Every structure is written in structure tokens, then in C-alpha cells.
Structure 1
Amino acid sequence: MHGIHTIDTGFGRPSFDAAYLVVERGHGALIDSGTTHSLPRFLEAIETADLRPRDIDWLILTHVHLDHAGGAGELMKHLPNAMLAVHPRGARHMIDPSALIAGATGVYGEDAVRRDYGTIVPVPKDRVIEASDGFVVDLAGRALLCLDTPGHAKHHIAIHDERANAFFTGDIFGLSYREFDTANGPFIIPTTSPVQFDPDEAHASIERMMRYEPEAMYLTHYDRVTQVKRLAKDLHEQIDAMVAIAKRHASDPDRETRIATAFAELYVGRAKKHGVMLSAEDITKLLKIDIKLNAQGILVWLDKAHAL
């Protein structure tokens, strides 16, 4: 639809982590890069779209978390004519990814980083463009507008595709797995993973995107969703509910566990109300990683807020 092709990057599990190829008059732009392991899938997607790697003009990163940007350096080696567009705060991490590697290694360990993300390599400085707020990527006359959309991360942009009247949202418009689709449409939850979640900024970024009255959102996790007004309302409600949960358990000695448990109950309850037929156990299992990261991320925000 509108020359937009979904690429399953293969990260995590099937239908978990998406990137996108936008095709316009024989030229292409990629949105996010997946991991280094994703490279064959990108090259296959380019070929399937009847393009060649030299026809790709742009690689645009929504933000530099490794499931979105870890493969950028390796992918750019295979795209001889492409420029990389990224938030100004993220540009230095693409040119020198050592801080990204060190941070991930400190959390997951060297072996796990290599297994999950592959070898992360730099992008030459002269191929990196800082996509500040309002920067327009010109894809063969098709305008892709980059908006500064903090809330999930301070180095986050969402890309408005004028032709499709849709956004490529990275993680700022939450996550919606197809296993939770019902007759009522897609089910969505926020993603508040460490370390830069901010609820006020998240609310503002969602509202900013909604002012464009988009027909659809292309999520990294996962794929195209419609019913955008209803999903935005759901995200606003859950962000507020999650903040309230975090504040309620702020002083608990086992606060991360209690917050994660309460988040699971929140998501299961809303999923059931949405008509999801999966058991509570299966819903929690599918969201296990997200529940953990959301609890950790909101705690980082909570501690920062209390320190002010």
C-alpha cells in the first residue's frame, strides 16, 4: 500500500520487530535497520521491490536503540548511494557506536550482545545527516517529514509520509502485536523502556502526531495499524495508569516486581476487555519482555522525577 513494504527484521521472534521500505519512482528509503543479523532480509526486500541496493537513497532511523539501529553501519556498506538521517542526539552514536555497545554490554553481557545484535560498526561521518525537527527527506519528490518526538527516547523522531498520510512511529506510538488483534481491531500498549521515558513528553508527542490526522501508523512492534484516534486514547489512558502504579509502589522494597505485576494485570485486563481470547498466562508470556522493560523504564523516570 502506497509503495510501503514491511520488513520483518528477525529480531526476537517472528512479527516482533519491523522496518520499512518506501518506494517512489524507482527510488527507496528504508526506515530503521534492525540488527546486523537483519542484513539478508533487507537485501531480499529491496530485490523483491524490484530495486537494487544502489536505488536506496535514504536510511532513516527513528532512534538509535539497537533493535532499530544496530545494523545501520553494516547495511550502509551495501547501499552505495544512501545517506543516513537520524536525530541530532543520535548522530554521534552512529558515527562512533562505542557508547551504544558499552551500554548494551553492561546490561546484557558481551556474548548476548553479539548473539542478539551482531557486530555493530560505525557509519562514515560524511554519510550521516542530522534530521532536526522539521527536516524533510525528499524521496524522488515524496516528502518524508521528520518530527522530534521525545517521550520514549530523547533522540527519537517520527516520520510523516505525506503520500500515505501515515507515520513511521518507531516506539513513540506504543507496540501492537498481531496476536492480540480482535474483531475490535488492534490492541496497543505504551513502551516505557529505559532510560529516557518521560510521560509528559510522550503525551505531547502523541498529540503532535494526531494533529496531522493520520490514517495509519507503521509501528516497529509491529506493522501497520489503523483506528488511530482510538489507539491514541488507549495510549494516553495507559500512560497515566502506569504512572499512577509507579507512584503507588515508589517506596516498596521490591518495587520493580510489584510494578511489573501491576503492569501485567493492567495489560491483561485491557486485552480481555478488547476481546483477546488468549489466556492471561499467554498474554503475559507474549508481553514478558515488554513488561520487564516498561517497569524498569518507568522506575528510571520516577527516580529522576524525585531527584528534581
Structure 2
Amino acid sequence: MSLSLVTDYKYGISAIDAQFHRPGRAAIHLIVEKGVAALVDTGTSFSIPGVVAALKQKNIATEDLAYVILTHIHLDHAGGASECMRLFPRAKLVVHPRGASHMANPARLVAGAMSVYGEAEFKRVYGEIIPIDVERIVEAPDESRIDLNGRSLLFLDTPGHARHHNCIYDERSQSFFTGDTFGVSYREFDVDGREFVFPTTSPVQFDPVAAHASIDRIISYQPHYAYLTHYSQIGSLEKHAQSLHDLIDAHVEIAQRAKNNGTDRKAIISKALSELLLKKLSEHGCQLPLPEINELLSSDIRLNAQGLIHWLDQPSERFKQL
């Protein structure tokens, strides 16, 4: 399917394609209120030229970008933050309190990612990540707000995918920017306007109990839409919330069945996740060719399997520290 770089919605909300690995995988959301703008998530440093182009297209000066908001600090969401701070001189970086120190000193964050990808691949995918001046960082604890030129944005602590995760409720649109808390929904899987949503259990802080609670908390606001980083606007949120609850439980069950399979766990879990999602997509009515479905899901299945294995291996008090 064809996806444009910028997709405009109501209430001054736009999705800018981060061009992360492929079109339509990760969105940077732009909120504009009477000429003043905020970004929600940043993609990587290589995504920021697209942001600059979108601002220029909308006649928004770089000085009028007031906030760069991170739902959480995983690098497909926060890897472009330092480049944003360099290019947008008046912007403040708004981040969960657990993530703030990692933006001021990203050495640990970078080292962790390099240990997964290797230095060369890390630099190819994410580019350079530099420290951000602490004076420009705003911590957003649970139920805090920022004012975007008269537009109130409410921050809710929503763990489950990560302990440093906020979802942002936009009172103007009565909608949430959910990062990864409300799952993943690729537009390629839409059938007759109906979206397909599935959870992300990727490393290293998956917590199913917290994930269920965060989904319920989002739904308690009766939002009109959710704007997912992967990928943008979805509706029918109560239906999707129930599906996410069911799929989180199914992911946990798959992991627990494979718990004692030693070095074979990753392959067993990955195969079961693939079968689960293919079954659900078939029920959804998706008729994409199987190779295309597998290509769209491969990275998520790999990361979800890794996250489930990490969850299995952690002690009972695994959720106390970042």
C-alpha cells in the first residue's frame, strides 16, 4: 500500500512517517495549536529531516516547536531527541521521570542498544545520540500536565511495555498518544476500515499485569482515538482493548508453556506467536499474501519473543528498577 510522509487528522494532529526500516512502521506525531507545535516521539536522528520538511510545509518556524514529548525512551521513539534539541532552539524535552537521566546521559542507553545490534549496525540504524542539557528536560510524572498554547496535555504513567512509559491525553481531541502501551496496528492489515491491533512484549520490561491495568486506564477516559507510534490513528478502542487483553494473556501462556525448553525457547515461542497472529489475522479477514504478512510481522515476533524470554527469566521483584 502507499503511505504519504505526512498524514493529517482533525484537531491539528498529523502523523509524520519516521521512515524507520520501512514506510508505515513508526510515526512521529505533530500537534499544532494556534501556530505553536509539539512532537510526540521522534523516531531516530535520520527521521528528523522529515520533521523539518513537514514543519516547513505547514509554515511552522523551528522556533515555534515548543515541546518534544517522549512516550518512552526506546530508541525507535527517542533516538531523534538530541537532534531535535539541536534543531529546535526553544523546545523543551518532556519525558517520564524514569527516562530523564538517560536523556541527559545516554551512555547506558547507547551501550545497551549496541550490545544488541553491534556498533556498526547501531550507527547505521540510529546515528549519533548525544547528551541533552538538563535545563531543557522537563520530567512528566503521573497526572502532570503541560500547556501547549492553551491546549492541555495530560500525562499518565502507563507501564507494561516499559516502566518509563507515559501516555498523553489530549483534551482538545479527547484522544490518547499511546506510544507502545496500546499495542501495534499496521495500516497494511486494515480490512474495510477495521484495524488489527496486537501487543508489543519486547525487551526488557514487559509486565503483563501492568499492561492490563494501563489499557484499562486508557479506556476509562472513553477516548475517541488512540494515536499509536506503530502506526498512528485507530478507533473502536473498547473492542481493541478487549483484543489486547486476550492477546496479552495468549502471549503469556505461550511463554509459560515454553519455559522449560532451554535453548529452544526462542524458536518455540516465535513459532507459536506467528501461528497465533496469523490465525487472528485470518479471522480479521486479512487476505495479504503470506510472505508479505510474515515480512510485516517478523521483527515484532522476534522482539516479542525476546521480551517474553526476558520476562520468564526475571526474579519476582524485576519491576522495581529501570
When the two structures are superposed, what TM-score results if normalisation uses the length of structure 1? 0.98
Structure 2 residue identity aligned to 1:116: V
Residue in 2 aligned with 1:124?
Answer: 133
SS in 1 for 2:274: helix
Instruction: Report the Cα distance in structure 2 between the residues aligned to 1:267 and 1:55, rounded to whole angstroms.
Output: 42
Residue in 2 aligned with 1:264?
Answer: 274
SS in 2 for 1:168: strand
Instruction: Report the Cα distance in structure 2 between the residues aligned to 1:285 and 1:9, rounded to whole angstroms.
Output: 19
SS in 1 for 2:185: coil
Instruction: Report the Cα distance in structure 1 between the residues aligned to 2:83 and 2:254, rounded to whole angstroms.
Output: 41
Q: 2:153 aligns with which of 130, 144, 153?
A: 144
1:35 corresponds to 2:44: yes
SS in 1 for 2:204: coil
SS in 1 for 2:314: helix
Instruction: Report the Cα distance in structure 2 between the residues aligned to 1:31 and 1:39, rounded to whole angstroms.
Output: 13
RMSD (Å), alpha carbons:
1.2
The correspondence of residues 60-209 of structure 1 with structure 2, limited to 5 A, is 60-183=69-192, 185-209=194-218
How far residue 239 of structure 1 moved from its aligned partner, in angstroms, is: 0.3
SS in 1 for 2:261: coil
The correspondence of residues 44-55 of structure 1 with structure 2, limited to 5 A, is 44-55=53-64
Structure 1 residue identity aligned to 2:51: F
SS in 1 for 2:155: strand
Residue in 1 aligned with 2:297?
Answer: 287
Instruction: Report the Cα distance in structure 2 between the residues aligned to 1:162 and 1:257, rounded to whole angstroms.
Output: 44
Change beyond 3 A, Cα 1:247–1:45: same
**Contact kept? 1:173, 1:206, Cα under 8 Å:** yes
Instruction: Report the Cα distance in structure 2 between the residues aligned to 1:305 and 1:235, rounded to whole angstroms.
Output: 25
How far residue 305 of structure 1 moved from its aligned partner, in angstroms, is: 5.0
- Show CA shifts across 1:16-59 (max 9, x none): 01011100011001101111111211111111222101001111
How far residue 3 of structure 1 moved from its aligned partner, in angstroms, is: 0.1
How far residue 278 of structure 1 moved from its aligned partner, in angstroms, is: 1.6
How far residue 286 of structure 1 moved from its aligned partner, in angstroms, is: 1.0
SS in 2 for 1:271: helix
**Contact kept? 1:184, 1:274, Cα under 8 Å:** no
Q: 1:301 aligns with which of 302, 311, 321?
A: 311
Structure 2 residue identity aligned to 1:142: R
Instruction: Report the Cα distance in structure 2 between the residues aligned to 1:143 and 1:271, rounded to whole angstroms.
Output: 37
**Contact kept? 1:135, 1:146, Cα under 8 Å:** yes
Residue in 1 aligned with 2:288?
Answer: 278
SS in 2 for 1:51: coil
Residue in 1 aligned with 2:7?
Answer: none
Instruction: Report the Cα distance in structure 1 between the residues aligned to 2:131 and 2:53, rounded to whole angstroms.
Output: 23
When the two structures are superposed, what TM-score results if normalisation uses the length of structure 2? 0.94
SS in 2 for 1:224: strand
1:232 corresponds to 2:241: yes
Identity of aligned residues (%): 49
Structure 2 residue identity aligned to 1:191: T
Instruction: Report the Cα distance in structure 2 between the residues aligned to 1:109 and 1:168, rounded to whole angstroms.
Output: 31
Instruction: Report the Cα distance in structure 1 between the residues aligned to 2:207 and 2:169, rounded to whole angstroms.
Output: 22
Residue in 2 aligned with 1:23?
Answer: 32
How far residue 78 of structure 1 moved from its aligned partner, in angstroms, is: 1.1
How far residue 303 of structure 1 moved from its aligned partner, in angstroms, is: 1.4
- Show CA shifts across 1:189-247 (max 9, x none): 10000000000000000000000001100001001011111111110000001101111
SS in 2 for 1:287: helix
Structure 2 residue identity aligned to 1:229: E
Runs of 4 or more above 6 Å deviation: none
How far residue 307 of structure 1 moved from its aligned partner, in angstroms, is: 8.2
Structure 1 residues not aligned, in runs of 5+: none
Instruction: Report the Cα distance in structure 2 between the residues aligned to 1:295 and 1:188, rounded to whole angstroms.
Output: 17
**Number of equivalences:** 308
Instruction: Report the Cα distance in structure 1 between the residues aligned to 2:213 and 2:308, rounded to whole angstroms.
Output: 17
SS in 1 for 2:217: helix
How far residue 282 of structure 1 moved from its aligned partner, in angstroms, is: 2.7
Structure 2 residues not aligned, in runs of 5+: 1-9
Q: Identify the range of structure 1 (45-54 vs 11-20) with the bigger mean alpha-carbon deviation.
A: 45-54
